[in-house]
Amino acid sequence: MKAAIMGYGVVGSGVGKILRENADIIAAKLEEPIEIKYVLDLRDFPGDALEDKLTKNFEDILNDDEVKLVCEAMGGTKPAYDFTKRLLEAGKHVVSSNKELVATYGFELLNAAKKANVNYLFEASVGGGVPILRPLWQCLAGNHIKKVYGILNGTTNFILTKMYNEDMPFEQALALAQELGYAEKDPSADIAGADVCRKTCILASISYGKHIDPAQVQTQGIEDIQIRDVAYAKANGYEIKLLGYCEKLESGKIDAIVSPFFVPKENQIATVSDVFNGIVVVGDMVDEVFFYGRGAGSLPTASACVGDMIDCAMHADKRKNFGWGARDKDFVENHSACQSRYYVRGTGDINAVKKALGEVAFLSLQGAPLDEVVFLTEAAQESELDARLAAIENFQIEAKIRVLT
Ligand code: HSE
């Protein structure tokens, strides 16, 4: 089958490499190879194995009837949305690693694929090389998904691991993640949580059947994590992880949030370090399932793209019934109305805290100043907890972080 790659950066070049190096097993599965006819990129790649396939003109791919399959690894929504829509409308299968595009326009693009009876698949958009979307959609299809949460960003997990294990300063760890090709072009999308938010939206859309927009998900990154809180986590049996979290509520709505969490060491998520991603799915029948692997980087992410390309080639004449329904602006509950436990660090009088909050679980740290008061709350609505904390006399809050339960 003739194919094209759009975007020849970290992921696109990885796709080219896998199709070359593993051509034998791919051809054996499909009884024909996947052959790259075009690579779309504005840059030149002198000496590259696919140099002679390079084009700067999208229309070359769109108008070539021989090309039935396209891997979009451009990133961003412009011009990726327009290109993808036109390719699908022209009857070409498209696979993508572009989480921003899927989280923003997934519903529209899945509809365009449905109308044209072609596939739009994007396994690489969440978890890099970790298979998670296909298992959620196919293998766990007989379950109501109660919860799905996890570490979805390699860069921030890498940074937090370096801070936690090696006391490495934040900036140095970020520079290392950029050097290794994990970070987004603009790493603020990693650090401030936007990348996790997009992936969380895709997980929630697949799990709960309606398109969840990034604007519906309250998002907080790792910028405010202090080394002092890392020390308290270490001393008291917790890791600090940036999680994307979704849960089906009894009301029928969902709770979806991106935030740093104190994660108890016993939870499998606590064992996920460096660039690795880990995702827990809780289904009403299967109970808990855990997915783990490399969440970023060229070949792991390209591995997921190539898996989708093979799937498209295997189902070239038949669209897989894959996707979700339209947006519903009331489907995501306001997070401050949802219950959560919190880690709180502040300065003040411990007796005033006890009087206001009752028997919370106080945490200790060797050598801590006498007026440092640190504790884990019971589960409470954030708005209600904030009001009670604000009412404590002479108590200054320095940090407040969710606790995974
Ligand atoms: N910047 C992303 C990460 C790349 O660090 O996880 C993979 O989506």
The pLDDT of residue 186 = 85
**Residues 101, 102, 104, CA angle at the centre, nearest 5°?**
65
pLDDT exceeds 90 at position 147 = yes
The predicted pLDDT at position 31 comes to: 86
pLDDT of 250 = 95
Q: Which atom of ligand 1 is nearest to the CA of 157?
A: 5
d(CA 188, CA 227): 20
**Measured from the CA of 184, which atom of ligand 1 is nearest?**
1
* Whether residue 182 has its Cβ less than 6 Å from ligand 1: yes
CB distance 187 to ligand 1 below 6 Å: no
Q: How confident is the model at residue 136 (pLDDT cuts 50, 70, 90)?
A: very high
How far is the centre of ligand 1, averaged over its atoms, from the C-alpha of 235 (Å)? Answer: 29
Please choose from 122, 153, 188, 199 the residue to mutate so as to test ligand 1's pocket, defined by most ligand atoms within 8 A of CB: 153
Q: Which of 145, 98, 135 minimizes the C-alpha distance to 120?
A: 98
Mean pLDDT of 301-310: 98
pLDDT of residue 116: 97
| Ligand 1 in reach of 296 Cβ (< 6 A) | yes
The Cα–Cα gap between 140 and 290 comes to 12
The answer to whether the peptide bond before residue 131 is cis (omega within 30 degrees of 0) is: no
Q: Is the CB of 190 under 6 A from ligand 1?
A: yes
pLDDT in tens, 348-372: 999 999 999 987 999 999 999 999 9
Local confidence band at 183 (pLDDT 50, 70, 90 cut-offs): confident
Indicate the SS3 state at residue 289: strand
pLDDT digits (tens, 9 = 90+) for 371-394: 999 999 999 999 999 999 999 998
Cα(404)–Cα(264) distance, rounded to whole angstroms?
Answer: 7
Tell me, using a 6 A CB cutoff, whether residue 295 lines ligand 1.
yes
Of the pLDDT bands very low, low, confident and very high (cuts 50, 70, 90), residue 327 is: very high
Instruction: Kindly state if the Cβ of 184 falls inside 6 Å of ligand 1.
Output: yes
Structure tokens that stand for 385 in this block: 């907890």
pTM value?
Answer: 0.97
Residue 104 CB–ligand 1 contact under 6 Å: no
Q: Ligand 1 center to residue 69 CA distance, Å? A: 24
Q: How far is the centre of ligand 1, averaged over its atoms, from the C-alpha of 296 (Å)? A: 5
Question: pLDDT at position 185, please?
Answer: 80
Tens-place pLDDT, residues 197-251: 999 999 999 999 999 999 999 999 999 898 899 999 999 999 999 999 999 999 9
Query: Which residue of the set 68, 85, 99, 199 is catalytic?
Result: 199
Of 366, 370, 364, the C-alpha closest to 351 is 370
**Is pLDDT at 321 greater than 90 in this prediction?**
no
Ligand 1 neighbourhood includes 155 CB (under 6 angstroms)? yes
Residue nearest to atom 4 of ligand 1 (CA): 296
Q: What is the pLDDT of residue 24?
A: 95
Query: How does residue 155 score in pLDDT terms, banded at 50, 70 and 90?
Result: very high
Pocket of ligand 1 contains residue 154 by CB under 6 Å? yes
Give me ligand 1 centre to Cα 231, in Å. 26
CA 181 to ligand 1 center in whole angstroms: 9
Look at residue 184 and tell me whether its pLDDT is greater than 90. no
CB 376 within 8 A of CB 361: yes
pLDDT of the residue at 121: 98
CA of 191 to the centre of ligand 1 (A): 10
* pLDDT over 90 (residue 324): yes
pLDDT of residue 167: 86
C-alpha span between 73 and 124 (Å, rounded): 10
pLDDT tens per residue across span 64-96: 999 999 999 999 999 999 999 999 999 999 999
Note the pLDDT tens digit of each residue in 245-299: 999 999 999 999 999 999 999 999 999 999 999 999 999 999 999 999 999 999 9
Q: Which pLDDT value is given to residue 209?
A: 97
**H or E element in which residue 131 lies:** none
Most ligand 1 atoms within 8 A of CB, residue of 180, 184, 275 to mutate: 184
| Catalytic residue status for 320 | no
Task: Determine the distance separating the centroid of ligand 1 and the alpha carbon of 199, expressed in angstroms.
Answer: 10
pLDDT for 318: 85
pLDDT band at 135 (very low <50, low <70, confident <90, very high): very high
Question: Which pLDDT value is given to residue 274?
Answer: 95
